[in-house]
Amino acid sequence: MSSSAASTPGGAGLSPAARAGTRQNRVRTLTDRFATRFVTASGISIIAAILAILFVIAGVAWPLVLPARARALPAVVLPAGTQPLAVRVDEYREEAFVATSAGLLLVPLKGGAPSAADLPALDGATVTSARSVTGGLALGLSDGRVLPVTTAVDVTYPGGKRLLVPRVTAADPLVADPAGRPVKTFALAETPDGPLLAAAVGPREVSLDTVTETTSLIGGTTREESRQSLALGSEGDASALAVDDRGQDVFAGTTAGKVVRFDRTDASAPGLAESVPVNGDGAAVTLLGFLNGDRTLVVGDAAGRVSTWQVVKDDSGRRHLARMHDFAPHGAAVTGFSPSRRDKGFVTTDASGRTMVRYGTTGKTLLDLPGAGAAITGVTFAPKADGIAAVDAGGKLLQWDVRNPHPEVSWRTLFGKVWYEGYQKPEYVWQSTGATDDFEAKLSLTPLIYGTLKGTFYSLLVAVPLALMGALYTAQFMHPDLKALLKPTIEIMAALPSVVLGFIGGLWLAPTLERTAPGVLLMPLVIPFLTFAAIAAWTALPASWRRVIPHGYELVLLVPVVLAGGALAIWIGSGVESAALGGDYRTWLVSALGLSYDQRNSLVVGIAMGFAVIPIIFTVAEDSLASVPQGLSAGSLALGATRWQTALRVVLPTASPGIFSAVMIGFGRAVGETMIVLMATGNTPIMNSSLFSGFRAMSANIAVELPEAPEGGTLFRVLFLAALLLFGMTFVVNTAAELVRLRLRSKYRTFE
């Protein structure tokens, strides 16, 4: 029977054997088709699964890059004749408190008529200036007093219905000017020593009013007010004021366009510490205010420019104002300001009715909201930073919904140097949580990427030479019997859980290395030297002696040599330490090189993680070396090459694509490795290439911080972004590696 007959379709008179052949053919075709489809489907589903993971990760990180959005809500028209000065809203944005020239107006935002609050403490005076302060509003009065008012909303449920009752309580007024002149502008802060009031009443001076409250055991609280006058001299009249809640400095913006700082380090005699021209052209400063945390000073001027400043220490320890950011300017004089109470965001308004949302750390303007055209006189960022309310000279209360969950994130803050509050200069910082409420999360991924690359670099520095040389020896020189034993052993190393390696690295290796670091660092010199010496001695031996060790078993002789080399290196190291390094290498490191020695450092990680990546590099490299066709090495040997020459000139280049993949696979493993870097480094997110300092890798960072990160928060999403970055890094490296490998392979293609 011929196969062509069997495959002829529809052959009526086929023999049974031929028919069996046809059936067999059909089964074969079906099996073939099934296998093809099955393999294809499996491949596609794996790719789909990976893509799905990628999409999930990217989906969580995505909102970080969404821009801020705002939606204007219908404006509330205030009663005719109202001159609003400042505004404040409650947490739920249902009630607004508007300071007007006549007192305080309660404005329900969800419908209902505005009503005037009962404020008997006004005592017939009118309000000349107003500001938002902690817990409420403060009103500067025409009779030289400043009246702090607490504003709150009580929620009650009479008859099961939710009812909001605004509550306004006036505190004891502070007397800014006993002479009773109207308060033009003021600043009030609650310092640890009691309220501190700075007010402008007369020309070219600032009056400073400190209230000390002493509670005696009997007789209740006594209140003592003391007044100081700060002369502005030639700097101009005070047109804006600010005091921080530490009571450290008093800032006065002047009509001459300067910011004058009075240092209250000696509270009994505050002195004019410096006077800084803000924009150089003398435009009057119209606004001073602090961002959340009272460290960054926002300065607005009559020309509409907005900048942020910070008091920093110079090298000699002197404090001075330093400019941090300039923001997109307003077209008209800056009139209002309100900080976000959650982060370093703030809003500024101007005389043309525009409102701008900004972010202090990034220096970015996030939103530019047009108004109704009338000058805005007061603005407030809602307590949850989810809305803005502003009052304008036209007697309107404007409102916006704001959605901006991650204002602190930008490419700059994630990857660039950022000048954070309290820092003397811009830096890369990762510090996600802090002790205080006004703490600002510093989420620079750069130190983490640096840490990841540093750990990878040091571990590959350890692993690549060892693994590749081992692979070359195993593939080219080792006796097959020994290889059959050794290769699986090394492969088992790969199965060692990395948590065990991290544990050993952190708890045993780190302290051991600390004792023997100089010796360990000498090992890469001493061991090869001793090995070469041993080999030279061995080849000098008579051939009959050498025959004791069969070909391919020379390794057995080298093991004690290497161990002896290690011991020798440690011995030399301690000798060097006591002779040349003054007995303690750590003190020497600090004094001579300025490096500090952390116990859990990059050397520990290099060795521990090197140990983890050696097996994979070794296995892949050995496989590719061993699969170089025998004919090539035979050809080389037949031309009079030694085995070493053959290995280096023919086998190694031919296997180079595989060796390259091996190193790249090792790289990928080291980049993604988590447990070892978590346990064997101090996890300090510093950027420093020193072998003796620790680092924090992206993977370890995710492991450490994700359980603590509130879901949906900025930190949470930034951690997902880090995961995406890790994914991207391994993807890019692997793809690049594959491309290079394919190129190399076509270059060193061996026809087979």
Q: Which amino acid is at 323?
A: R
* 294 φ/ψ sector (left φ>0, alpha ψ -120 to 50, else beta): left
**Helices 446-476 and 652-672 meet at what angle, rounded to 10?**
140
If the CB atoms of residues 266 and 752 are measured against other proteins, the closer one turns out to be 752
Residues 527-566 as x/- pattern, contact with other proteins by CB under 8 A? ----------------x-------x---------------
**H helix intervals, 477-509:** 480-495, 498-504
Is 475 one of the binding residues for other proteins (CB under 8 A)? no
If the CB atoms of residues 38 and 553 are measured against other proteins, the closer one turns out to be 553
Residues 236, 255 contacting (CB under 8 angstroms)? yes
* Closest separation in Å from C-beta 650 to other proteins: 6
Alpha-carbon distance of 293 to 476, in angstroms, equals 67
Q: Which amino acid is at 430?
A: W
Collect all residues with Cβ–Cβ distance below 8 Å to 412 and sequence separation of at least 6: 362, 418
Query: Using the rule CB under 8 A, which residue among 170, 241, 334, 650 binds other proteins?
Result: 650
Query: Using the rule CB under 8 A, which residue among 629, 672, 682, 713 binds other proteins?
Result: 629
Residues 238, 206 contacting (CB under 8 angstroms)? yes
Site for other proteins in 476-495 (CB under 8 A): 479-480
Alpha-carbon distance of 122 to 148, in angstroms, equals 11
Is 649 one of the binding residues for other proteins (CB under 8 A)? yes
* Closest separation in Å from C-beta 65 to other proteins: 47
Query: Using the rule CB under 8 A, which residue among 296, 446, 636, 714 binds other proteins?
Result: 636
Q: Could you give phi then psi for residue 729, rounded to 5 degrees?
A: -60, -50
If the CB atoms of residues 582 and 635 are measured against other proteins, the closer one turns out to be 635
Is 638 one of the binding residues for other proteins (CB under 8 A)? yes
> What's the distance, CA 163 to chain centroid?
43
Query: Using the rule CB under 8 A, which residue among 595, 632, 691, 724 binds other proteins?
Result: 632
Residue with tokens 């025409």: 142
Query: Using the rule CB under 8 A, which residue among 108, 180, 202, 653 binds other proteins?
Result: 653
If the CB atoms of residues 34 and 553 are measured against other proteins, the closer one turns out to be 553
If the CB atoms of residues 221 and 539 are measured against other proteins, the closer one turns out to be 539
Query: Using the rule CB under 8 A, which residue among 323, 515, 547, 749 binds other proteins?
Result: 749
The token pair at 667 is 């790289």
List strand residue ranges (DSSP E) for 535-597, in order.
none
* Closest separation in Å from C-beta 455 to other proteins: 36
Select the span of 73-81, 334-342, 386-394, 640-648 touching other proteins (CB under 8 A): 640-648
DSSP result, 349-383: EETTS-EEEEETTTTEEEEEE---SSPEEEEEE-T
Is 750 one of the binding residues for other proteins (CB under 8 A)? yes
3-state secondary structure of 748: coil
Query: Using the rule CB under 8 A, which residue among 637, 706, 715, 740 binds other proteins?
Result: 637
Question: Could you tell me which residues are beta bridge partners of residue 339?
Answer: 346
If the CB atoms of residues 196 and 744 are measured against other proteins, the closer one turns out to be 744
Query: Using the rule CB under 8 A, which residue among 169, 352, 645, 730 binds other proteins?
Result: 645
Site for other proteins in 130-189 (CB under 8 A): none
* Closest separation in Å from C-beta 749 to other proteins: 6
If the CB atoms of residues 317 and 480 are measured against other proteins, the closer one turns out to be 480
Query: Using the rule CB under 8 A, which residue among 111, 317, 594, 640 binds other proteins?
Result: 640
Is 416 one of the binding residues for other proteins (CB under 8 A)? no
Compute how many residues bind other proteins; rule: CB under 8 A.
Answer: 26
If the CB atoms of residues 498 and 624 are measured against other proteins, the closer one turns out to be 624
Q: Using alpha carbons, select from 527, 601, 528 the residue that is nearest to residue 568.
A: 527
Select the span of 330-338, 398-406, 645-653, 678-686 touching other proteins (CB under 8 A): 645-653
Element (H, E) at 391: strand 387-392
Residue with tokens 């290439």: 689
Select the span of 377-385, 402-410, 572-580, 631-639 touching other proteins (CB under 8 A): 631-639
If the CB atoms of residues 528 and 550 are measured against other proteins, the closer one turns out to be 550
Alpha-carbon dihedral 564, 570, 571, 574, rounded to 10 degrees: 180
Select the span of 120-128, 230-238, 509-517, 629-637 touching other proteins (CB under 8 A): 629-637
* Closest separation in Å from C-beta 486 to other proteins: 17
Alpha-carbon distance of 364 to 532, in angstroms, equals 62
Question: Could you tell me which residues are beta bridge partners of residue 214?
Answer: 222
CA distances from 401 to 87, 106, 194, 279, 509 (A): 16, 20, 36, 33, 56
Select the span of 31-39, 48-56, 466-474, 625-633 touching other proteins (CB under 8 A): 625-633
Q: Say which DSSP state 238 is in.
A: E
Alpha-carbon distance of 499 to 502, in angstroms, equals 5
The token pair at 179 is 């002479």
If the CB atoms of residues 503 and 748 are measured against other proteins, the closer one turns out to be 748
Select the span of 60-68, 420-428, 576-584, 638-646 touching other proteins (CB under 8 A): 638-646
Select the span of 310-318, 497-505, 610-618, 626-634 touching other proteins (CB under 8 A): 626-634
* Closest separation in Å from C-beta 734 to other proteins: 24
Site for other proteins in 708-747 (CB under 8 A): 747
Is 635 one of the binding residues for other proteins (CB under 8 A)? yes
The token pair at 154 is 């009580």
Residues 284, 254 contacting (CB under 8 angstroms)? yes
Query: Using the rule CB under 8 A, which residue among 484, 639, 736, 739 binds other proteins?
Result: 639
CA distances from 425 to 297, 322, 421, 428 (A): 16, 10, 9, 10
**Helices 652-672 and 714-747 meet at what angle, rounded to 10?**
180
* Closest separation in Å from C-beta 640 to other proteins: 4
Residues 577, 518 contacting (CB under 8 angstroms)? yes
* Closest separation in Å from C-beta 623 to other proteins: 18
If the CB atoms of residues 281 and 481 are measured against other proteins, the closer one turns out to be 481
Length of the chain equals 752
Q: Counting beta carbons within 10 angstroms of the beta carbon of residue 248, is it exposed (0 to 12), middle (13 to 18) or buried (19 or more)?
A: middle
Is 642 one of the binding residues for other proteins (CB under 8 A)? yes
Q: List interacting residues with other proteins (CB under 8 A).
A: 479-480, 543, 551, 629, 631-632, 634-642, 645, 649-650, 653-654, 747-751
